[in-house]
Amino acid sequence: MASSRRDLAVRAAVDQGLLSAAEPVVALLDTAGIRASAAALTSAFAAVTDAHVLHAFAVKAAPLVPVLRLLHEAGLGVEVASPGELALARAAGVPPAETVLDSPAKTPAELRQALALGIAVNADNLQELARLDALVASAPTASPLGIRVNPQVGAGSIGALSTATATSKFGVALRDEGARKAVVQACLERPWLTRLHTHTGSQGVPLALMAEGVGEAYALAEEINHAAGRQQIDTLDIGGGLPVNFLSDEETPTYAEYARLLADTVPGLFDGRYGLVTEFGRSLLAKHGTVLARVEYTKTSGGRPIAVTHAGVQLATRTVYAPDAWPLRVLAYDAEGRPRTGEVTVQDVAGPACFAGDLLATGRALPLLHQGDVVAVPDTGAYYFAHHYAYNSLPRPGIHGFTVTGNDAGDGSGVGSEGGNGSGNGSGSGNGGAGDDAGDAGVVAFTTVRKPQTLAEIVAESGGALADALVG
């Protein structure tokens, strides 16, 4: 069970000093869980189609080179949306043929680089197609080229993440007057335009709406191919966006559910005529990340207990600013990393930043937290600790992958190249061993994914070498 591995990892992180008074916040990644999610994705689509499917991980969800390497070793490519994300993917060794470039604001230089490398490109709009016209004419390219369309099927429960609304900034809006006809004509005029891209899903979007968006893109591909008298559109990039359950350890919905829904509602998608690309991100990583933070102080205000921790807005930015849309669970452990027991008490769990709203949880029922305890924030493997918000110049935490070996290690038993001796896997130094009474429950080995940010690095990034720039 992932929860069992998490409990072992919390205890080991305390025992081995990854979490300490000197390093009061740390992030953990369950590598066995990540591998399991990648396998679930690939098997879900393999169960409904024999067509070629490139599963391209959305780098924005976890822009960490060791994570991209791990997913690539598990059979996934990448979807990138900036020069920085492309640089990370290349550093991870992901080949151009397994890389897709999306973005609503690609520069000529970005497009030129992608075409030179042979990276697949999805144009966002008709003006971008005009840029591609010139680039394709100037030099040959092996890049598969497509255009993104907005099916305008509606919003999910989080407006800021709904990409298929009537006024979304992404893609060509198919239901706008004349837009569909313009897309068909643009494809007929460009024999090299062989892909359609859509992305309807994201957190808060139900599976049925996601499938409806994919169905609209499929219908457009059929229309274009009929008008062309041949199969010009040969690949459909259906995006990603499988929502994540943040309320429990249960992993719902599943990739298998979504793949079966697509097979039922858009059967032609899987009949072998079209290659497929997916772009899942959050759903691959979220459940496999946990933030650990020490409770620095406890107090009461207005009669309500407050635990002041070192994890707040700098890590859980979305949760702090939009707690109703992005709720997170908080788990209580004692100072030695054991699950805390005792009478459940309604309390607040606060972060370290200097504003009143920096709260991980408000009025949450938990065993009463004490000074020196540890709080764990699960489901944070995507869009949380890898997207630092430098409020108060708080440092980025260290990130460590972990594996568990032993008799009761759960579904990740024996998985991972780090092994139990702490030798590491090349992404950072490893720390071996287990908690003193973990015993047969499992041995936890950590390896560094990203080192903690130092104060010197904060100063350097903040113009430390240019102190006299404005007064000289």
pLDDT tens readout for residues 246-267: 999 999 999 999 999 999 999 9
pLDDT score, position 224: 98
Residue 2: the pLDDT is: 80
CA within 13 Å, CB half, 414: 2
Between these two residues, 199 and 291, which has the higher pLDDT value? 291
* pLDDT at residue 412 in the model: 38
More confident residue, 27 or 1: 27
Mean pLDDT score of the chain: 90
pTM summary value: 0.91
**Structure confidence at residue 423 (pLDDT):** 32
Q: What is the pLDDT of residue 472?
A: 72
pLDDT in tens, 416-433: 323 333 333 333 334 444
> pLDDT, tens digit, for every residue of 319-363?
999 999 899 999 999 999 999 999 999 999 999 999 999 999 999
Residue 180 near residue 149, CB atoms below 8 Å: no
Which of 15-29, 76-90, 124-138, 421-435 shows the lowest per-residue confidence on average (mean pLDDT)? 421-435
- The more confident residue out of 79 and 153 is 79
Three-state SS string across 246-300, please? CCCCCCCCCHHHHHHHHHHHCHHHHCCCCEEEECCCHHHHHHHEEEEEEEEEEEE
Share of the chain above pLDDT 70, in %: 88
3-state class of 461 per DSSP? Answer: helix
Residue 455 has a CB neighbour count (10 Å cut-off) of 9
